[in-house]
């Protein structure tokens, strides 16, 4: 009987067929689109799709890149155990979209860069650029390993799919279409995979509503179980999820992910105009809202079904990340092929993230390390190098899956990685674009200070997980289970980390319940503020940039912002001069394209 615990069915033949066809079909569509649209084999075409992408597919790719298999599996488990506080990330997504679209997109777009870290050399120095790139490569490799390993492990233990066979197959599929198709293949494959991910959530919610007697019943059960209390205004920074940690800390974390992360920057600078680039982020914001809403409601559906028999406490599964796969096999096994669709949804998220990471890693390696040293390479040699590096980084990401196996609960671990490394990097960029007095010495030492602090608190929190008092898990029950199996987890707080490096009997150090218990959502804010403050102080001590002439296009301008653009839209200025001096013009392209203005508008303004 559904919702009463015990073993569940495994994959049928039709599930395997649907899974394989869906994954290979999505990859095939991406590869076809890339090959059909490729006019020439060039590095710009491979890494940036020829800078001719439009807003909607780029937006869906942006959403799919970080709404990965971790989201498909981890977010419903979050709602099941902690309630709907995660829904407040909708505010963070909105803040992130505005800041990225109105501050960072115009900056990167007018510089015409391929690697986001080119800016660091323009503004500071080459050593700062190389350190920033190295931090990104380390972060992305570890995160991608987590993305590959965690969903594979959860689905392996529920469906019976071979763990390492699936890991290698995942990497192989990504390597093939990344190597042959480049960014265009990645983006169009992400579009299909995004649709598959959302379809998986809809299937779970629809079947759950039928079993429970409607969506209203699911909502009522969630309310009775305390799952709908999302707004907690406690300012305590040690509490895992409150309104302030999610909206303030979460906003900074997502800004660090979208504004300076190469995987994201590479997508919106591939757009054919600045207008399309900005619009892609606002459409992406809506995509994030829809995805997180479906994921959270899937978690509430899961709670309604298992409110009287928690599968983890009952011993039916070994980690919270297996909750949704267990639910799928419990309620959808009677419909051959549907569980296969859900597993395809989880792996679609994994493929989209892995392919995005591989493509971005290739871009920064070529642009930041190879081309500045090997300046005489032909276009053909660079193309072959891009393809070879795609294979190399695909293999590295598969290898990092083993390291990711000790990172604990996948959703929190994934976001913690970004907070620890992207926070100091965001602080470095803010030093560059906002403060003319900051110099390379201040930027470098400030970033190091921020990184040391975030790694200290992040690694400490991984070794000594916060107690239930700070994480606030909600109560669960096994009163309705048919049978009670032995508990197969060993940690005192299995919802916080599925693998810990200490046992509950170890003596916790003095910092464990204070410094190490800092909410993981504040890691990025801590790194950003530390980098900016230390960077400014060191820059002041070392003389600032008084002797340097800095190009104005390296800084944020009033004209970049919506409000100033709106009030100044009737102002007459020299379009031609602005376009030719500030925007790199590509061959056979109008110099006014990046401003989304038509020729007749330019001529009219010139006559005025």
pLDDT tens figures, 92-137 = 999 999 999 889 988 888 888 878 888 998 899 899 999 999 988 8
Instruction: Please report the pLDDT score of residue 302 as a whole number.
Output: 93
Q: What single DSSP character describes residue 53? A: B
Percent with pLDDT over 70 in the chain: 75
Q: Work out the pLDDT band at 498, boundaries 50, 70, 90.
A: very low
Across 366-388, average pLDDT: 81
Tell me which of 343-352, 390-399, 528-537, 559-568 is least confident: 559-568
Q: Work out the pLDDT band at 294, boundaries 50, 70, 90.
A: very high
Which of 173-182, 258-267, 441-450, 592-601: highest mean pLDDT? Answer: 441-450
Residues 38-48 have pLDDT tens digits of 555 555 555 55
**Pairs from 87-91 (Cβ < 8 Å, separation ≥ 24):** 87/230, 87/292, 87/293, 87/296, 88/230, 88/231, 88/243, 88/246, 88/247, 88/250, 89/246, 89/250, 89/254, 89/292, 90/288, 90/289, 90/292, 90/293, 91/246, 91/247, 91/250, 91/251
Instruction: Please report the pLDDT score of residue 192 as a whole number.
Output: 74
Q: Given a cut of 90, is residue 522 above it in pLDDT?
A: yes
User: Between 157 and 73, whose confidence is greater?
Assistant: 73
Q: How far apart are CA 396 and CA 176, in angstroms?
A: 15
Q: How far apart are CA 245 and CA 289, in angstroms?
A: 18
Across 64-71, average pLDDT: 69
Tell me the three state secondary structure of residue 506: coil
Q: Given a cut of 60, is residue 408 above it in pLDDT?
A: no
Q: Work out the pLDDT band at 19, boundaries 50, 70, 90.
A: confident
- Give residue 109's Cα distance to chain centre: 21
Q: Given a cut of 50, is residue 191 above it in pLDDT?
A: yes
Instruction: Please report the pLDDT score of residue 546 as a whole number.
Output: 61
Q: How far apart are CA 346 and CA 166, in angstroms?
A: 12
Instruction: Please report the pLDDT score of residue 17 as a whole number.
Output: 87
Instruction: Please report the pLDDT score of residue 436 as a whole number.
Output: 86
Instruction: Please report the pLDDT score of residue 429 as a whole number.
Output: 93
User: Between 595 and 521, whose confidence is greater?
Assistant: 521
What is the CATH code of the structural domain delimited by 44-560?
1.20.1730.10
Q: Work out the pLDDT band at 396, boundaries 50, 70, 90.
A: confident
Termini Cα distance of the chain: 77
Q: Work out the pLDDT band at 539, boundaries 50, 70, 90.
A: very high
Residues 543-574 have pLDDT tens digits of 876 656 777 888 887 777 765 554 444 333 33
Across 345-365, average pLDDT: 76
Instruction: Please report the pLDDT score of residue 54 as a whole number.
Output: 72
Instruction: Please report the pLDDT score of residue 556 as a whole number.
Output: 83
**3-state secondary structure labels for all residues of 209-248:** HHHHCCHHHHHHHHHHCCCCCCCCCCCCCCCCCCHHHHHH
What rounded mean pLDDT belongs to the chain? 77
Q: Work out the pLDDT band at 484, boundaries 50, 70, 90.
A: very low
Cβ neighbors of 139 (< 8 A, separation 6 or more) are 417, 418, 421, 422
Q: Is 596 left (phi over 0), alpha (psi -120 to 50) or beta?
A: left
Residues 195-205 have pLDDT tens digits of 877 888 898 99
Q: Given a cut of 90, is residue 479 above it in pLDDT?
A: no
Where does 103-226 show beta strands of DSSP type E? none
Please state the domain extents for the chain. 44-560, 572-605
Q: Given a cut of 70, is residue 353 above it in pLDDT?
A: yes
């Amino acid at each position: 009987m559904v919702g009463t615990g015990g073993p569940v069915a495994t994959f049928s033949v039709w599930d395997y067929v649907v899974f394989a066809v869906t994954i290979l079909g999505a990859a095939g569509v991406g590869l076809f689109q890339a090959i059909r649209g490729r006019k020439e084999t060039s590095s710009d075409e491979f890494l940036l799709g020829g800078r001719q992408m439009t807003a909607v597919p780029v937006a869906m790719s942006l959403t799919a890149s970080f709404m990965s298999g971790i989201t498909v599996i981890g977010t419903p488990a979050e709602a099941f155990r902690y309630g709907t506080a995660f829904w407040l990330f909708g505010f963070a997504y909105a803040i992130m979209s505005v800041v990225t679209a109105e501050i960072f997109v115009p900056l990167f777009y007018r510089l015409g860069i391929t690697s986001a870290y080119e800016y660091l050399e323009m503004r500071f120095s080459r050593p700062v650029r190389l350190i920033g790139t190295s931090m990104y490569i380390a972060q992305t490799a570890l995160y991608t390993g987590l993305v590959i390993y965690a969903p594979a492990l959860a689905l392996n233990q529920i469906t019976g799919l071979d763990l390492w066979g699936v890991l290698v197959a995942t990497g192989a599929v990504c390597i093939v279409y990344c190597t042959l198709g480049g960014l265009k293949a990645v983006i169009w494959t992400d579009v299909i995979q995004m649709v598959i991910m959302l379809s998986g959530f809809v299937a779970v919610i629809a079947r759950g509503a039928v079993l429970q007697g409607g969506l209203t019943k699911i909502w009522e059960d969630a309310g009775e179980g305390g799952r709908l209390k999302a707004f907690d205004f406690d300012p305590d920074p040690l509490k895992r999820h409150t309104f302030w940690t999610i909206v303030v800390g979460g906003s900074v974390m997502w800004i660090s992910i979208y504004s300076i992360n190469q995987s994201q920057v590479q997508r919106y600078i591939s757009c054919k105009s600045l207008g399309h680039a900005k619009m892609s982020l606002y459409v992406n914001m809506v995509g994030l809202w829809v995805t997180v809403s479906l994921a959270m409601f899937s978690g509430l559906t899961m709670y309604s079904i298992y409110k009287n028999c928690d599968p983890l406490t009952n011993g039916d599964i070994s980690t919270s990340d297996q909750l949704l796969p267990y639910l799928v096999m419990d309620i959808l096994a009677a419909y051959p092929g549907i569980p296969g669709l859900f597993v395809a949804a989880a792996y679609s998220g994994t493929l989209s993230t892995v392919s995005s990471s591989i493509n971005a890693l290739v871009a920064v390696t070529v642009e930041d390390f190879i081309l500045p040293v090997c300046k005489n390479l032909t276009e053909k040699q660079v193309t072959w190098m891009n393809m070879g590096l795609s294979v190399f980084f695909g293999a590295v990401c598969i290898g990092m899956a083993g390291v990711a196996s000790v990172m604990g609960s996948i959703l929190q671990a994934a976001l913690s990685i970004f907070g620890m490394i992207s926070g100091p990097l965001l602080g470095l960029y803010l030093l560059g674009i906002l403060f003319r007095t900051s110099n390379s010495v201040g930027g470098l030492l400030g970033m190091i200070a921020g990184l040391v602090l975030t790694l200290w608190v992040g690694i400490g929190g991984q070794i000594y997980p916060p107690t239930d008092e700070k994480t606030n898990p909600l109560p669960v029950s096994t009163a309705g289970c048919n049978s009670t199996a032995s508990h197969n987890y060993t940690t005192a707080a299995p919802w916080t980390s599925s693998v810990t490096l200490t046992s509950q009997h170890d003596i916790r150090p003095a910092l464990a319940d204070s410094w190490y218990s800092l909410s993981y959502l504040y890691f990025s804010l801590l790194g950003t503020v530390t980098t900016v403050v230390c960077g400014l102080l060191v820059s002041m001590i070392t003389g600032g940039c008084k002797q340097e002439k800095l190009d104005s296009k390296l800084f944020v301008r009033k004209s970049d912002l919506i409000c100033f653009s709106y009030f100044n839209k009737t102002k007459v200025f020299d379009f031609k001069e602005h376009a030719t001096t500030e925007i790199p013009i590509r061959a056979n392209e109008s110099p006014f394209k990046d401003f989304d203005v038509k020729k007749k508008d330019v001529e009219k303004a010139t006559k005025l």
